[in-house]
A and B are shown apart, each in its own frame.
Chain A
């Protein structure tokens, strides 16, 4: 870090030599680690392009002689892939809408309004993040059964409009709202604007990046979620990609070529999205640990 002070300890090496050696070592270690972390992805793609015979030859075949691009086609056509995609998108859409609705409103209440019980409820909200899902799950399941929601998508949609699973997003948005200068809201109040106006015309436009971060995190969670759909989506016509992929596994035992092709298709959107918007992701995720 502080090369100038360090240098006097080893007079044989110049400053730039020391720096170069140090960064070369770090690069080598990091490259080796990146290889370990990324090779599973490479292997996945390689597997997806193999013939069943090549599967058994394992590592001898890194680049399949005749890449089986058909495997992707087979994976998509032997199961109702487009229907799963549609179902995933439906859940993602409502979850994002619901979370944005409930989380922005309550984040505003926590950040900019003074009301009795606010600070206590804020602590309660943070505490809800610690509660194991199973404690909530059973009575909710019974409740949904009683009101006839089992077998529908509603248990995976409605709670989002009531801040279900949104504690972290509320927390995140609250910090962003707090960052909006008071002068801005107060001058709006002097101009006769109410809090709803301030919320819609000042807060939301000024915190677009945070709203995007929340949307992306919700997208990721719902797209990848397995447990919720497993419990509630008993109707195969409602299955999401995550459930479909699991069904694929039971249907094509041992056909890892097809399984990997399907898995790649399921994870591709999240990876692309991550690369496009990684700044937002990393900001949002970082936020959890540091400010939490």
Chain B
């Protein structure tokens, strides 16, 4: 800025040109923002108040779609419950595993780069390959996991767990599988940890703080921005969970993994019920927004505490 003011005279003409060029350079994205962003968002809001099944024109029916979902559709509530279950389990567990991995790797020992690469590796596997792999690992009869656990089953004299084939475990199975990709958030934490000035730790050391205290009082508070980021993204992506269930369980057994995104997909692709699908999408948007805003206040509080110490 200051530089530009100095050169005001020589660059004055160019700055006028910049105003136009800014739009020119941004035009592909700006067009996209309109056509593939703003228009669909507003259109889906409009559609959510209409009846539209891909033929004819959308017919305005007011709040009927929302009313039908909220008061007349038990599957809607089942899918919402399944999704909330998934989010409330997967987000905290994902955070914990990611942070623990990062803390372990945030030490100055040899081969850290290799471990980092290895822990990250599951993240480059496609969702389909990953789902098939874990379908096999969790396979109740011949799968690796139940075979490894069989001494435990014998010891406790219990039946082997059914994992994705048991309606009370299927959601948990999908969450556990998701932890395999915790290395993705680990990378982000790790980078932030390595940005923390070393003097902080040295000062704490002189004051007699041990490693654990340093982690609680210095590392974790200063990581809150990336924790917050992973928290928010975890919630947003968690609410959209679909493909894993589609591939692994087809929503079953007994609708136990029939998530919100799955129901929306069925309404849209199988029923062509675009009005209700849009209403579901908007409910999702509003729920996501509310939770994000709630999380925002939480983050400020945590970070504030960190700075006070």
Contacts and interface: CB of A to CB of B under 8 A. Distances in A.
Contacts of B236: 130, 132
B22 A109 contact: yes
Contact of B274 (A55, A142, A275): A142
Interface string A114-154: 11101001001100101111111111111101000000000
A166 B47 CA distance: 26
A135 B247 contact: no
Contacts of B264: 134
Nearest to A245: B128
B271 interface: no
A118 B22 contact: yes
Interface stretch (B59-67, B70-78, B87-95, B137-145): B137-145
Interface string A214-252: 000000100110110011000000000110011001000
B105 interface: yes
Contact of A37 (B119, B128, B144): B119
Contact of A34 (B115, B136, B187, B289): B115
Instruction: Summarize B's interface: helix, strand, loop or mixed.
Output: helix
Contacts of B32: 102, 159, 161-164
B197 interface: no
B36 A133 contact: no
Given A26-B109, A138-B40, A124 B33 contact: yes
B104 A282 contact: no
Interface string B103-141: 011011111000111111110111111001110110100
A137 B281 contact: yes
B124 A270 contact: yes
B195 A290 contact: yes
Given A30-B104, A115-B22, A286-B191, A190 B28 contact: no
19 contacts: A1-B107, A1-B201, A37-B183, A43-B136, A44-B136, A55-B142, A115-B21, A134-B240, A136-B36, A224-B125, A256-B132, A259-B132, A260-B132, A263-B132, A282-B116, A285-B188, A289-B188, A289-B230, A290-B188
